[in-house]
Amino acid sequence: MEMLFASGNAHKKEELEQLLAGRHTLLLPMQAGLVFDFEENGETFAENALGKALDLYRLSDGKRPVIADDSGLVVPALNGEPGVRTARYGSERYGRLLEAHERNLYLLENMRHLEGDSRKANFVCAIALVLSPQRLFIVQEEIQGRIIARETGTGGFGYDPVFFIDEANATMASLSKEEKNRFSHRGRAARRLLTLLDSL
């Protein structure tokens, strides 16, 4: 199936296509001649994912199915931060969007007083699929872990270097691409989506 992907990120598109086992093709809005810009102001990952998917579906006049995702890091001891503001974490304090390494340092600074179970965290990924205005599907998955005291590993991106998965005995940034796809929140959500797509 050929679907529009509500993102401007070619790397993210390629990663999701791989997770969908090469059985579905994704098109970025610009590849379909569309100018797409969506403000993520939902209170949950699912709201943001569905909002993006519906917005692009309307923009494209419903010519193709649309999928969108939203994901981020949730630290219960920080009242759920960074949460839906994962990519913008720290921007209010510093007045600009921070680079990934800077966001990690900001997170570690805010958690420096926390120990043990207080350092538990979850990565969450919601993926929305819009087939028509009345046929909407959302899958959401998570991977549980904890935030360690310093960055470890050179792979991945974002908070991967500080997110340790006990099940894998490694940070997300220390995993191979295949291992990350197996353990990650996005990999788990994509497999749920693939099952759904195969049933349609």
Q: Which amino acid is at 6?
A: A
Alpha-carbon distance of 184 to 34, in angstroms, equals: 30
Number of C-beta neighbours around residue 98 at 10 A: 17
Determine if residue 79 is left, alpha or beta; phi over 0 gives left, psi from -120 to 50 gives alpha, anything else beta.
left
Q: Which two tokens stand for residue 9?
A: 């990120």
Nearest to 55 by CA among 72, 71, 34: 34
Of 37, 70, 117, 166, catalytic: 70
Give all strands of the β-sheet with 25-27 in edge-to-edge order: 25-27, 2-5, 66-74, 120-132, 135-147, 163-165, 170-171
Alpha-carbon distance of 145 to 196, in angstroms, equals: 27
Cα 49 to chain centroid distance, Å, stands at 10
The question of whether 70 is a catalytic residue gets the answer yes
Q: Known catalytic residues?
A: 70
